[in-house]
Amino acid sequence: MRYFVEQMTLGLTNGAIYALIALGYTMVYGIIELINFAHGDIFTVGGLIGLTAIGLLGLDHAPPALVIPGVILVFAVAMGLNGLVGVAIERVAYRPLRNAPRLAPLITAVGMSFVLEGIIFLLKGPNDISYPNLLPSGRLNLGLASIGISNILIVVIAVILMVALNQFIQRTRIGRAMRATAQDRDAARLMGININRTIAITFFIGSALAAAGGIINGFYLETIRFDQGFRAGLIAFTAAVFGGIGNVVGASIGGFVIGIIIALVTGYFQGGGQWSDVVVFSILILTLVFRPTGLLGMRVPEK
Amino acid sequence: MKRPNAPAKSGIVDRVRRFEIQGLGAVGRGRNVPYLLLGIALILFPVLDSDSSHVNVAADAGHWILLALGLNIVVGYAGLLDLGYAAFFAIGSYAFAIMASGQFNIHISFWILLPVSAFIAALFGVFLGAPTLRLRGDYLAIVTLGFGEIVPRVFRNATPITGGVNGIVGIDQPHLPSILGWSGKFGFNPVPWYYLILAVLVLSLFLINNLRNSRLGRAWMAIREDEVAAAATGINTVTTKLLAFALGASFSGFAGTYYASKLFLVVPESFSFQAVSVVVLVMVVLGGMGNIRGVIVGAILIYFIQTYLLIQLPNWISSATAALNIDFLTKLDIASYVQRSNYLIFGIILAGIMLLRPQGLIPSAQRKAELELGTSEEAVADLGSA
């Protein structure tokens, strides 16, 4: 039981990070039907912006009282800046191709992924960069097992962000514009919605959430690497597809489910760690083959 | 292909006529002279250039051209984005390595295995394609990406069969009867390898060229341009796409056999997304999707950038900065940046080409028209609901 709880904690924690990335995939796909291949690397960039902010604020040596407001500031700065990175990429690489055949922006997206990886590689080199863990290190004893406070915090932060996002999409004017644009871009335009701005906002929010994921990932793993976004992005995309691409709640659930699956495969099978990615990508293929709409997805009408 | 300014949205009669003109032009006399000269130059190259390292570079470039030609069938002709092409290359390489090495003490002849491993790769193409090809284009891209990630991992983990991380070493080499004082052994002498890949390439070009102009090739292009319309004209889109997938995979099977045999070993790390799938895609996109000449030029260019320019440029820069003896420049250490800019260069090529010149360096006339006209509502058949 203790072991099981440990594995589940691990899975939920990783799942929270995957879910935060998956939200960006699912939002962008929902609104412009593009698999934003660069999103995994936007996640890495977000983590690095956070790392830089931590360094500039000197948070890793700061007195404990200042850490909490400092971390909140780091999140705000990194999410904002990374959002702008996402908007810039959309402006440069995707908007000019909005009316091109579908494969064109997808190839550009692969290109942007490599551009981002290349820039990080040039600036930071090929090795792991250490990341300070600013989350509290204590453990909560539950009798059967003890759970790290940091794990709980990560899941709580992620869930707060997810709920906030869902409320934003369901309740606000911009959220309604996003849903309208996703449903029928031309009709939305006729209703006076600024399509370009709405899509830009979608990219901003997706990238901001990826930055949150990037910082949390840095705290949790205590390292960051130029190419971590490739694998993380692919897993998160699997989560988005599994949950039903285009569906925000689905992506959140998908992220947690995939995280748990990886943890259980790694934890319960001999040499399972080597096979966990194979299992995840098989889930991706099988989902797409047998239920392309995912767990919660609606049937997307072919346009 | 010499008509880049074809009228937009020309009538079907005009388009058919253009097809005919192109077809005739290709077999017309006189146009073949440059190709003939190029062929002679390619045959004489190892004789004239005594530096065997150059021949070796050319022999290595050959299997990249082969890979690019194969991917071009899938991406360029049929318009299916395959992001996991490395998987089939890996399957071809490992199929050969397992059946022609000390791994299980099986030593089947290279010449038999060359078509066999291509067939195995094609079989996996069908295996992956059959359930997934009815998916929408971008979903298919992700499925292939997932498959491309799975295959090398399986090879890395299935240690008893594939040798795991260490791969398979001591792979057999082709043998020929000795002729003209040549022992018939390949070994580390690049010259026979060069002629081998040249022969395979000529054969492939002949095949692909005929395929392109065949009923099947026209069906591929019809699907690429409008899948619903193609289906409406009676093309079986699933079978046609499946054939593109299988044939594309079989070329990487050829390439894999050659690669494994020449290198003497296979390791799972050489088949990653970054090392193969993207590189070959960049070759095809840069050269011009759907155009054989473009793809060959793209492949050679990228191979040159990767294996020569990026390795030599830092040396030139560091010797230049050393000669200039400017402290500021030496401190910047530009050389180390250039050496590490592989990713960046590929990314810029992929994104830049699609944004600025989506038809590639040497465009295919049809592909160009398609990309420039471009429809916002590209029709993709959904057979799932049909």
Instruction: Report pLDDT for B5.
Output: 47
Check pLDDT > 60 for residue B117: yes
- String of DSSP letters for chain A: -HHHHHHHHHHHHHHHHHHHHHHHHHHHHHHH----TTHHHHHHHHHHHHHHHHHHHTGGGS-HHHHHHHHHHHHHHHHHHHHHHHHHHIIIIIGGGTTS-THHHHHHHHHHHHHHHHHHHHHH-SS-EE----S---EEE-SS-EEEHHHHHHHHHHHHHHHHHHHHHHHSHHHHHHHHHHH-HHHHHHTT--HHHHHHHHHHHHHHHHHHHHHHHHHHHSEE-TTHHHHHHHHHHHHHHHH-TT-HHHHHHHHHHHHHHHHHHHHHSTTHHHHHHHHHHHHHHHHHHH-TTTTTPPPPPP-
Reported as type and span, the H/E element at residue B168 is strand B168-169
| Residue B122 is assigned to a structural domain of this protein | yes
- Subunit contact B344:A114, Cβ cutoff 8 A: yes
Q: Which residue has the tokens 């996640």?
A: A43
- Subunit contact B154:A278, Cβ cutoff 8 A: yes
Other Cβ atoms less than 10 A from the Cβ of A301: the count is 9
pLDDT average, residue stretch B10-29: 49
Between B137, B143, B347, which is nearest A103 by CB?
A: B137
Q: What are phi and psi of B100, to 5 degrees?
A: -145, 60
Chain B residues whose beta carbon lies within 8 Å of the beta carbon of residue A299: 385
Between A121, A284, A285, which is nearest B340 by CB?
A: A121
Check pLDDT > 50 for residue B314: yes
Instruction: Report pLDDT for B25.
Output: 40
- How far does A71 lie from chain B, in Å, by closest CA? 32
| Residue B55 is assigned to a structural domain of this protein | yes
Nearest to A23 by CA among A243, A230, A186: A243
Other Cβ atoms less than 10 A from the Cβ of A223: the count is 14
| pLDDT tens digit sequence for B85-116 | 999 999 999 999 999 888 788 888 889 999 99
Chain A residues whose beta carbon lies within 8 Å of the beta carbon of residue B81: 103, 106-107
Q: What are phi and psi of B358, to 5 degrees?
A: -60, -15
What is the DSSP-derived secondary structure letter of residue B6?
P
Cα A263–A162–A245 angle (5° rounding)? 75
Between B273, B278, B380, which is nearest A302 by CB?
A: B380
Check pLDDT > 70 for residue B2: no
Residue from A34, A45, A114 whose CB has the most chain B CBs within 10 Å, to mutate: A114
Domains held by chain B: number = 1
| pLDDT tens digit sequence for B35-44 | 788 888 888 8
| Residue B292 is assigned to a structural domain of this protein | no
pLDDT average, residue stretch B212-227: 88
Residue from A29, A110, A189, A291 whose CB has the most chain B CBs within 10 Å, to mutate: A110
Hey, what's the torsion of the CAs at A52, A57, A61, A65, to 10 degrees? Answer: -130
Query: Is residue B278 a contact partner of residue B68, using CB atoms and an 8 Å limit?
Result: no
Check pLDDT > 50 for residue B13: yes
Between β-strands A146-148 and A139-141, what pairing exists: parallel, antiparallel or unpaired?
A: antiparallel
Structural fold of domain A2-137+144-290: ABC transporter involved in vitamin B12 uptake, BtuC (1.10.3470)
Between B337, B341, B351, which is nearest A93 by CB?
A: B351
Reported as type and span, the H/E element at residue B169 is strand B168-169
Percent of chain B with pLDDT over 90: 23
Q: What 3-state class would DSSP assign to B22?
A: helix
Between β-strands B265-266 and B168-169, what pairing exists: parallel, antiparallel or unpaired?
A: antiparallel
Half-sphere exposure of residue B38: CA atoms within 13 angstroms, side-chain side: 8
Check pLDDT > 70 for residue B18: no
Q: Which amino acid is at B271?
A: F
Nearest to B244 by CA among B353, B122, B365, B147: B122
| Residue B188 is assigned to a structural domain of this protein | yes
- Subunit contact A302:B137, Cβ cutoff 8 A: no
Between A97, A100, A284, which is nearest B146 by CB?
A: A284
- What contacts B262, CB < 8 A, 6 or more positions away? B59, B60, B63, B173, B186, B193
| pLDDT tens digit sequence for B155-189 | 988 888 888 888 888 888 887 777 766 676 777 78
- What contacts B189, CB < 8 A, 6 or more positions away? B52
| Residue B246 is assigned to a structural domain of this protein | yes
| pLDDT tens digit sequence for A100-115 | 777 788 889 989 999 9
| Residue B242 is assigned to a structural domain of this protein | yes
Check pLDDT > 60 for residue B10: no
Domain of residue B230: give its range. Answer: 32-276
pLDDT average, residue stretch B59-86: 91
- Most confident range (mean pLDDT) of A164-178, A282-296, B261-275, B302-316 is A164-178
| Residue B223 is assigned to a structural domain of this protein | yes
- How far does A33 lie from chain B, in Å, by closest CA? 9
| pLDDT tens digit sequence for A18-66 | 999 999 999 999 898 888 989 999 999 999 999 999 999 888 887 878 8
Banded pLDDT at B386 (limits 50, 70, 90): very low
Chain B residues whose beta carbon lies within 8 Å of the beta carbon of residue A232: none
pLDDT average, residue stretch A241-252: 88
- How far does A262 lie from chain B, in Å, by closest CA? 15
Nearest to B197 by CA among B296, B119, B50: B296
Query: Is residue B288 a contact partner of residue B361, using CB atoms and an 8 Å limit?
Result: yes
- How far does B122 lie from chain A, in Å, by closest CA? 19
Q: Which residue has the tokens 């495969």?
A: A265
Higher pLDDT, B381 or A211: A211
Q: What's the distance, Cα to Cα, between the start and end of chain A in Å?
A: 50
Check pLDDT > 70 for residue B55: yes
- Subunit contact A108:B143, Cβ cutoff 8 A: no
Nearest to A259 by CA among A15, A23, A20, A16: A15
Chain B residues whose beta carbon lies within 8 Å of the beta carbon of residue A181: none
- For chain B, what is the mean pLDDT? 80
Instruction: Report pLDDT for B367.
Output: 61
pLDDT average, residue stretch B261-276: 87
Interatomic CA distance for residues A278 and A272, integer angstroms: 10
- How far does A191 lie from chain B, in Å, by closest CA? 20
Locate B146 and state its tokens.
């997932």
Banded pLDDT at B6 (limits 50, 70, 90): very low
| pLDDT tens digit sequence for B198-217 | 999 999 999 998 998 899 99
Locate B87 and state its tokens.
């998987």
Query: Is residue B124 a contact partner of residue B249, using CB atoms and an 8 Å limit?
Result: yes
| Residue B153 is assigned to a structural domain of this protein | yes
Nearest to A37 by CA among A91, A96, A86: A86
